[in-house]
Amino acid sequence: MTAVARAAVDDPPAVSPLTHLQMLETEAAHIFREVAGEFDRSTLLFSGGKDSIVMLHVALKAFAPARLPFPLLHVDTGHNFPEVIAYRDRIVARHGLRLEVASVQSYIDNGTLRERADGTRNPLQTLPLLDAIRDGRFEAVFGGGRRDEEKARAKERVFSLRDEFGAWDPRRQRPELWQLYNGRHEPGEHVRVFPLSNWTELDVWQYIEHEGIELPEIYFAHTRTVFQRDGMWLTPGEWGTPRDGEAVCERQVRYRTVGDMSCTGAIDSSASTVPAVIAEIAASRVTERGASRADDRLSEAAMEDRKREGYF
């Protein structure tokens, strides 16, 4: 055997390093498989927002060619954007997924919950969520939260232990060195799992571009009837109408995040394509929740307070 031939046999083939997006995808897929191997019953929170869309996309790739081994769960406020609900149902049908819906409206109808004075229903999602987790006997619940979104979410571990009341206590969270995840929990407790913890908003959009993922159209610039409140463009509706001095107008806007229509604001934008959105986000100095979520402005610790009550 010649020296060249011997070298070809002895030397391992060159391996191309993973790109930044491939590393994030690989980490998320690993988390999905860890949960599938460690927990008997799990579910994926799916709202039709971009983070849950990316999370579902990675999950489908992680278990392909097998079917997704857990159902989707949507806590429906009843004030969701119609475009997003249509997208949700379209994706569920396309992939033959199981979808369970916990309805805030049904809790209001039977008197278990009351409408808030400010009209927002986001804080009302906690009880239907916890009941759905209990009724489904879910031990692990996948969420699309990212650490760059908000200060309370920056404290989260990938495996976030919740007590028997669904409450989050940052002092009970466990170290996760070397991507070793501890899912141990007592009866009645469960674990929230965040596969996209280490992603940023920019990562999410670059991944959407790379994978060619379809999104609801409200993520791109469009003309909408809005009114301004607290620096945000809100959509008028049964959940809330303009107050004195808040004029209704038509503007070209898009949404950076999707939630209850009563508290999710649009931003002025001409970005009608994914590359244009990426360029816009790269230049932004305000987080998506800080720019467009009124429920996070209720207090300095609004998100952390809700998480302690069992919120996402």
**What's the pLDDT tens digit per position in 281-309?**
998 877 775 555 454 444 455 555 565 56
The answer to whether residue 243 scores a pLDDT higher than 90 is no
On the question of pLDDT at 96 being above 70, the answer is: yes
pLDDT tens, residue by residue, 169-182:
877 788 777 888 88
The mean pLDDT of the chain is: 86
8 A C-beta contact, residue 158 and residue 181 = yes
Strand order in the sheet with 140-142: 99-103, 72-76, 42-45, 140-142, 190-193, 159-162
What whole-number percentage of the chain has pLDDT above 70?
86
| CA–CA dist 127, 165 (Å, integer) | 10
More confident: 214 or 309:
214
Q: What is the DSSP letter of 220?
A: S
**pLDDT number for residue 312:** 64
Contact 55, 141 (CB under 8 A): no
Confidence at residue 49, expressed as pLDDT on a 0 to 100 scale:
93
Q: What is the pLDDT of residue 297?
A: 47
Please say if the pLDDT value at position 1 is more than 90: no
Q: What is the mean pLDDT of residues 132-140?
A: 95
H helices present in 137-225, as ranges: 151-154, 201-211
Question: Is residue 72 a contact partner of residue 44, using CB atoms and an 8 Å limit?
Answer: yes
Note the pTM of the prediction, 2 decimals.
Answer: 0.87
